[in-house]
Structure 1
Amino acid sequence: MAAQQHLQIINPEHSQECHSFPLFPQLPTELRLQIWQVSLQRQRLITIELPTSQEEYTAETKNHLGRFVRDAHCCPTVVGSKLLSKFLRVNREARDATLRFYRVHVPCRFELGDGKEDGTLFLNPELDILYIKLGRNARGFVDLVYNLRAYDPLDVGLLNLALEKNVVGNLSKINIFESETHVQKAFRDTVTNLRQVYLLVLENAGRMYLGPLNGISTQIGYELHRSRPIMSSTPTFERVGRDPRSSMERDLSRVFAGTFDPRQMLYRWRRLLEMWEIDCASGGPDYRLLISHSWRTGAMGRTGKTISDRESAAEWLQKEEERWIRGQERCANRILARGGRIPVESTEELERAPRPAIGFWLFPIEAMGPMPTPEETVDEFGEGYSWKPKRLLDMRQYWPELCLTYMP
């Protein structure tokens, strides 16, 4: 039985059928290479986890480019699925074109679920966004940034960085001036030349508001915000522009931004730049607030299952729907006492509800609200400022850009 319309994702369906073009090998080489190039032009949001141990730095080794790289702290673990292009397995010409396009080749470990294996992460700095996660091993962040530049034949390395609150806090442990001169220079040059910085809000309570059960106040105690995107383990996405879905006004008027004030991320990051003596006043990166529902949390996250294709997305949404219905039944008396009804959503409302999107929202940084002024008294990382957890943000005047995950 086909899923109800309100459970059908809006992500375009990319056919996996094999379309044969026997004359392709007869095309001029230049045209074939252009076709490979255009086919590879896709953005990715890649999650990288650094080792949590704080082992001492041992030595530098030379990579395949003959450059020195750090080998003690940061063999990164890359989390996700479909991280390697299928063009690597088509033929030698396609593989060579792919390796040129993804010119940064970094040794890593791949992880999805319980499986781990060693491999090589192929990156394109201009298109790829790296979501770097670290625990106490703040030095590993410096070494990874240094290595990304050392593995890049063009000496670019990292251009697009994604951060979340805990990572920004842990970066305060870095004293870049304790590093060797060449490491300092590579790190500071890279951070100075960042093009985009994404501040992440990935919450598992952002879709289902359960009133007293999760501390998010609602009129009747229960709301399901179906328009909030859901993150996938697949990194490739398409920016489709302004979110085209209708009936999103209620959801955008009450966007859950977590138990922390998201402005803290930007404030602390800017203080880090001052500490590292990096001047971005003349321009600096383009900042964006990235909001989604994390696939690594919630009902599916606890079972170790991920959203990687249309089938797993349908399973995730069906489990969420079942949990939503059970919750209404358990709290029926509370909902009715507050003037609500059971079920909370009528059949007509479900027909008008925004269809789910697998991906994420992007907001301008101004959507978080005003930052503290220089006149306000704050300590080194803003602890003296009265940060207020902006649990529900009214984003209606900042209608989001929607990014949809590539879903075969």
Structure 2
Amino acid sequence: MASVSLPPKFPIFQHDATSPRSSEVTNHVFTLFPLLPAELRIKIWRSTLQRQRIIQVVLSPVNEAEDHYIIDGSLDTPNGEEFIAEVGGYNTISKLMRVNKEARHEALLFYRLHLPCRFIKPWEIKAQPEACRRGVLYFNPEYDFLHIFHTKDNGDSPSSLRTLSNFVYHLKTTYDCRHVGLLNLALDRDPAKPDWRAGAVRFHDSFDASDLPAGIDTTLRATLEQLHEVFFVFRTPIVRDSDWPDEDQFDLLHSTLLPIWSASPNFERAGQDPRHGVSESLQENSSFYWFGLDSALNDWNCLLAKLDLPLLNSGSRSQTHYSCGLAYSVDSALTWESFVRESVAKPQHYVFNMETARNYLCLQQKRSGRTNSGEWMPTFGFWLFRLPEGIEHISRFRNSYVDANGIQRIRHSAPDLTKVWSELLVANLY
């Protein structure tokens, strides 16, 4: 019988202080756990729950959502909400909900905010969902980030901000028993303008907070003022010496060590990226598209100015920490390719766990013709660059381009991103 060559298991970097290069998880069964004192068991449950997540949420005005769903007011908008929240991603419901009664009780206490929603698959974030099931998003404002998207018809008008205002109002006043609401926020400006769902809620000049219903305007101001962290997330292909992403994205990804976007909501903060060669990658002229960085920051500042809040780059004292997140996205690379090749993102392009991560890397390895990955240790997550001090070092465009005469020209010197490089966020794929 002919031997079968199996694809190698990539040594994917996971943030694990005890064994950072380990690619396997060893399952240990502790049979005496039920015999521990109740106080100790509860402490263990709570320690397990104290993890950060980035949860993707698509906001749709109710009148727009009626085109896609049969709205049942008692289930979808029980408190008069003017939005439908659709939650994408994978494993947004804690496994402790299904362990036993004690674990579920602690999980429900920890994730104290219970928001009625519709669950959608991650690849439907930017495509009209075929079917959505009703559910509840359980999250903890002190730990979790909400990654806010808008629907296509809601993005370029003041209605997007009214929808966002209504959303943060109900988070704070209706669903949070402590009346805290949103503390951590992620926004992105996706290049996929033609898509049904297309990135962050955007500012519109005609928006006037004073036109909001009583209480909602003050809640919006209070929420934005209390934010702990805001990530502006940029998911990008990689380019080099051409106006379009190279077909062999795997080869460029191998060279730049750019983290890969994952649909898994769970992540760990790894501090400075410990992988070999990262510093060199950030100093070289490997080029990333910073899609709409200036406009995204300008939109955010325009909203803050409307509400008389400190601007991002004003030097005013603010408790909010801003960062710009960067990750390689198969989704965004395919968006660029679609302009010339009619390619579309498919489920196999999304990573949820270690198995799908390895399958994706093996698929890209086969596509590129590489026979081995060498010492490359990819990771899934994204880099974070602190703002506003990092803005001047971040290039919106690639560094070189080919002019109308076919001559390669340099726009400016390559940015040295090590000057603003602060940390790596690693998706937890286990």
Correspondence 1:164-243 to 2 at 5 A: 164-165=188-189, 167=200, 169-170=202-203, 174-203=207-236, 205-206=237-238, 209=239, 211-212=241-242, 214=244, 223-224=252-253, 225-243=255-273
What whole-Å deviation, never above 9, does each CA across 1:177-199 have from its counterpart, x for those lacking one? 11112111211111111111111
Q: Which residue of 2 aligns with 1:10?
A: 13
Which of 374, 384, 396 is the matching residue for 1:389?
Answer: 396
Contact 1:69 1:146 (8 Å CA) reproduced: no
Letter in 2 for 1:242: Q
Q: Which residue of 1 aligns with 2:428?
A: 406
Contact 2:267 2:381 (8 Å CA) reproduced: yes
Q: Secondary structure at the match of 1:402?
A: strand
Distance 1:172 1:83, change over 3 A: farther
Which of 136, 147, 164 is the matching residue for 1:141?
Answer: 164
Greater shift, 268-277 or 234-243, is seen at 268-277
Q: Which residue of 2 aligns with 1:128?
A: 144
Distance 1:273 1:239, change over 3 A: same
Instruction: For CA contacts below 8 A with separation 6 or more, give which structure has more relative contact order.
Output: 1
Greater shift, 98-107 or 26-35, is seen at 26-35
Contact 1:78 1:110 (8 Å CA) reproduced: yes
Which of 358, 372, 390 is the matching residue for 1:314?
Answer: 358
Correspondence 1:299-378 to 2 at 5 A: 302-305=345-348, 306-325=350-369, 351-353=374-376, 355-365=377-387, 366-369=389-392
Contact 2:282 2:416 (8 Å CA) reproduced: yes
Which of 283, 290, 307 is the matching residue for 2:318?
Answer: 283
1:282 Cα deviation (Å)?
A: 2.9
Q: Which residue of 1 aligns with 2:30?
A: 20
Letter in 2 for 1:320: Q
Contact 1:14 1:407 (8 Å CA) reproduced: no
Q: Which residue of 2 aligns with 1:340?
A: none
CA distance in 2, matches of 1:226, 1:198: 22
Contact 1:226 1:356 (8 Å CA) reproduced: no
Q: Which runs of 5+ in 2 are unaligned?
A: 17-22, 67-72, 124-129, 190-198, 335-342, 400-414
What whole-Å deviation, never above 9, does each CA across 1:102-134 have from its counterpart, x for those lacking one? 000000011115552110000100110111011
Distance 1:70 1:369, change over 3 A: farther
Contact 2:81 2:170 (8 Å CA) reproduced: no
What whole-Å deviation, never above 9, does each CA across 1:278-326 have from its counterpart, x for those lacking one? 346332400011111235344697222220111211121122223334x
Q: Which residue of 2 aligns with 1:88?
A: 97
CA distance in 2, matches of 1:285, 1:89: 35
Distance 1:399 1:129, change over 3 A: same
Q: Secondary structure at the match of 1:75?
A: strand
1:68 Cα deviation (Å)?
A: 8.6
> Which portions of structure 1, spanning 4 or more consecutive aligned residues, are displaced by more than 6 angstroms?
none
Contact 2:120 2:133 (8 Å CA) reproduced: yes
1:155 aligns with 2:162: no
CA RMSD of aligned residues (A): 3.3
Letter in 1 for 2:424: L
Contact 2:98 2:104 (8 Å CA) reproduced: yes
Identity of aligned residues (%): 28
Distance 1:290 1:193, change over 3 A: same
What whole-Å deviation, never above 9, does each CA across 1:197-253 have from its counterpart, x for those lacking one? 1111111x13xx35436168xxxxx84444111111110011111100111244213
1:33 Cα deviation (Å)?
A: 1.2
CA distance in 2, matches of 1:77, 1:297: 21
Distance 1:171 1:31, change over 3 A: farther
1:390 Cα deviation (Å)?
A: 3.5
**Would you say how many aligned residue pairs link Structure 1 and Structure 2?**
354
Contact 1:229 1:360 (8 Å CA) reproduced: yes
Greater shift, 143-152 or 113-122, is seen at 113-122
CA distance in 2, matches of 1:170, 1:84: 32
Which of 297, 301, 324 is the matching residue for 1:270?
Answer: 301
Which of 120, 133, 150 is the matching residue for 1:117?
Answer: 133
1:3 Cα deviation (Å)?
A: 4.8
Q: Which residue of 2 aligns with 1:378?
A: none
Letter in 2 for 1:152: D
CA distance in 2, matches of 1:28, 1:53: 48
Greater shift, 124-133 or 396-405, is seen at 396-405
Distance 1:173 1:88, change over 3 A: farther
Q: Which residue of 2 aligns with 1:38?
A: 47
